[in-house]
């Protein structure tokens, strides 16, 4: 599950991508908050994090504000999730970036829990690593684009 902080970051990035698409100048925090329905008090810290990650920049002055500095197709969602929330693996023994053996596990090779969640996680990774910010801003449904059946249909 993504955090509310990450959800706000995604909404802010979508807002900035939409503004860039229409050749709008930089957007103020107030304008980003209004367009993305994000509380301004949370947004200030999130925008600083996004700037530190290298996705946006700020411009001072009368026409100042924040703007997206990367093409939406080059902003991977999987990496953004890791930058904002940390490891995305369901178990610490499956994490690529923060691997830790499970305290109660004596043999990873025969752990049925690790094997089952590893298969689910691998499927999740294949999907999440293929997504970019453009997938959130384009009108094409990601499920349709990937031809992945929706559960229950």
CA distance 151 to 18: 30
**Domain C-terminal end among 68, 94, 122:** 68
Q: Answer yes or no: do 49 and 101 share one domain.
A: no
Same domain for 115 and 64, yes or no, is: no
Domain assignment of residue 63, given as a range = 4-68
- Across 13-27, 33-47, 135-149, least confident range: 135-149
Judge whether residue 81 has pLDDT over 70. Answer: yes
> Quick one: 59 and 9 in the same domain?
yes
Are residue 81 and residue 110 in the same domain, yes or no? yes
Q: Please check whether residue 136 lies inside any domain of the structure.
A: no
3-state helix/strand/coil string of 94-139: HCCCCCCCCCCCCCHHHCHHHHHHHHHHHHHHHHHCCCEHHHHHCC
The total domain count for the chain is 2
Give pLDDT, residue 108: 87
| H/E element, 144 | helix 142-146
Average of per-residue pLDDT across 123-150: 76
Q: Is 11 helix (H, G, I), strand (E, B) or coil?
A: helix
The CATH number covering residue 41 comes to 1.10.10.10
Confidence of residue 143 (pLDDT cuts 50, 70, 90): low
- DSSP-derived secondary structure letter, 149: P
- pLDDT of 53 reads 94
Mean pLDDT of 81-110: 89
CA-CA distance, 126 to 142, in Å (whole number)?
Answer: 13
Q: Residue 149 is encoded by which pair of tokens?
A: 């059946």
96 and 47 share a domain?
A: no
- pTM for the whole thing? 0.82
- Is it the case that residue 42 has pLDDT exceeding 70? yes
Last residue of a domain, one of 68, 92, 118: 68
Query: In the predicted model, is pLDDT for residue 140 greater than 60?
Result: no
**Is 149 among the domain residues?**
no
* C-beta separation of 9 from 80 below 8 A: yes
DSSP code, position 150: P
């Amino acid at each position: 599950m993504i955090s509310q902080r990450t959800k706000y970051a995604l909404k802010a990035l979508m807002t900035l991508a939409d503004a860039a698409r229409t050749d709008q100048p930089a957007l103020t925090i107030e304008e980003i908050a209004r367009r993305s329905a994000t509380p301004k008090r949370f947004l200030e810290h999130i925008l600083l994090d996004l700037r530190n990650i290298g996705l946006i920049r700020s411009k001072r002055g009368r026409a100042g504000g924040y703007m997206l500095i990367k093409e939406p197709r080059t902003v991977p969602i999987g990496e953004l999730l890791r930058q904002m929330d940390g490891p995305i693996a369901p178990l610490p023994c499956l994490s690529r970036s923060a691997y830790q053996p499970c305290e109660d596990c004596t043999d990873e090779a025969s752990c049925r829990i690790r094997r089952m969640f590893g298969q689910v996680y691998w499927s999740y990774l294949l999907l999440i690593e293929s997504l970019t910010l453009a997938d959130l801003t384009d009108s094409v449904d990601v499920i349709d684009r990937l031809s992945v059946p929706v559960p229950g249909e």
